[in-house]
Structure 1
């Protein structure tokens, strides 16, 4: 972590006295970085982005430089970038090293996992693009939304919630989120409680009996498919859709777009507030 901070600080001192100029050609390598660039009004400078950054129609028009941990040296350099914003987990290592040796200006930005780290990222990107006023306004907006989520939490309480990762597993099995996952981080952000977080880490197939024993009121189903409603990352589902016997079905089931809600970026707070309000509406109806 100290090394990453040193890299960023060195570039800030030597290369940011006048900020990023309008003619810059920028590549971003993770959605959480792209979201900040877009929020600061600099998306017009993008000439390429990684696969995880293709979350709207405009970004899908950009050349795809590959998944953030499987990037291509040739693919990136062919776009003639003047600035590359690396994610702290960008790879493979040899690609990062080859691109860095090309003389292109680069920055390494740490992946955030909480509000303070996200605000730090916004500050850093704001400095890179010489947009301190916009970055400060964005941070204040994030703090306000975080406050609204905390209000929802205090009214709702820590309801037991499970997260099914639909794209994992096979043969009819369902993989559930445990501790140290982005899914559990989402549940925590909503002030809910994942019973599996204390039982195992990562994602694990769980039999039906064990699922039911958790006594969850809410179930979230994570998918990557295109949602029917544009820009709506959450869809309410019938509680029977998860296959539990009727007497023990949860109160609420939602399908969530993991390309949105599992990225700890500036869009997450909007998505989390949307989901939070839908959960409250569902729980009220279930009384």
Structure 2
């Protein structure tokens, strides 16, 4: 619909068809002066590189640092609307891999707005690559290289300590316990990767992604610790409820009442705070051992 139009006309054409979500602002002379961050770890990285003042909007998952919450919200990263993004007149969109949908990305391409997809990360090298990719998009290569190198070294230091653990802790990551049904992490997830980085063992194996576990599977997993996202005071997955689950209650984790709750973006974001998150999780898994 808007192919062939100039960038300004493309933005106007899309906005004319939409219920306005924000007032379109004039374009800056600096081609990377008005940035939209899509994905919590991407937005965190932009701030960590000292470029937060260049952000004009963020997606729903971008909740850290607190300043991000003051920016216009263009929607969930996998359900972005072109109207919402174009309404803030960006010069550059930096997004986590998998953002979309494709139809929105196509419209943004036709509006001649640079869209940089940052690769996902599940290890120290991936975190470093993500930071360097964001820095390259912002023209901050040197700053990104320094930050990435520091974080990679800090994660490696935790892994070195974890390598000395004689009996690794078995960890069951529970994504949801709604209705008494435990949705747990198998292999290949961010939770699985964090458990391993912190020196633990995923208590369940044999399937990728997330899956509901039977009571028999929970008992067979025999976790020493339950790991969950902290959903705050309004969350539905409180520690008492999970530890009281009939199957969990008779596992080592249930008997010892060992449950670790961490902020979801902090624990699973694989951004500039990942070194701290790995260190915190390691200390929680092995209290008194550094």
Q: TM-score range with shorter-chain normalisation?
A: 0.7 to 0.9
Q: 1:165 aligns with which of 175, 181, 193?
A: 175
The answer to whether the 8 A contact 2:175-2:184 is kept is yes
Q: Tell me the equivalent position of 1:280.
A: 286
Aligned pairs, how many?
255
Q: For the residues of structure 2 that align with 1:185 and 1:92, how far apart are their CA atoms?
A: 26
RMSD: 2.8
1:212 aligns with 2:214: no
Q: Tell me the equivalent position of 1:84.
A: 93
| CA-CA distance at 1:33 after TM superposition | 1.4
| CA-CA distance at 1:242 after TM superposition | 4.4
The answer to whether the 8 A contact 2:128-2:149 is kept is no
Q: Tell me the equivalent position of 1:187.
A: 195
Q: For the residues of structure 2 that align with 1:215 and 1:279, how far apart are their CA atoms?
A: 15
Which structure is larger by alpha-carbon Rg, 1 or 2? Answer: 2
Q: Tell me the equivalent position of 2:262.
A: 256
Q: Tell me the equivalent position of 1:5.
A: none
Give the stretch that moved more between structures: 79-88 or 151-160.
151-160
Q: For the residues of structure 1 that align with 2:88 and 2:242, how far apart are their CA atoms?
A: 49
TM-score (ref. length: structure 2): 0.78
Q: How does 1:1-287 map to 2 (within 5 A)?
A: 21=30, 24-157=33-166, 158-166=168-176, 170-197=178-205, 199-225=206-232, 241-243=243-245, 244-245=248-249, 248=252, 249=254, 251=256, 252-281=258-287
Q: Secondary structure at the match of 1:51?
A: coil
Aligned CA distance change for structure 1 residues 41 and 227 (closer, same or farther; 3 Å) = farther
Q: For the residues of structure 2 that align with 1:254 and 1:227, how far apart are their CA atoms?
A: 17
Q: For the residues of structure 1 that align with 2:211 and 2:264, how far apart are their CA atoms?
A: 17
Q: For the residues of structure 1 that align with 2:241 and 2:165, how far apart are their CA atoms?
A: 20
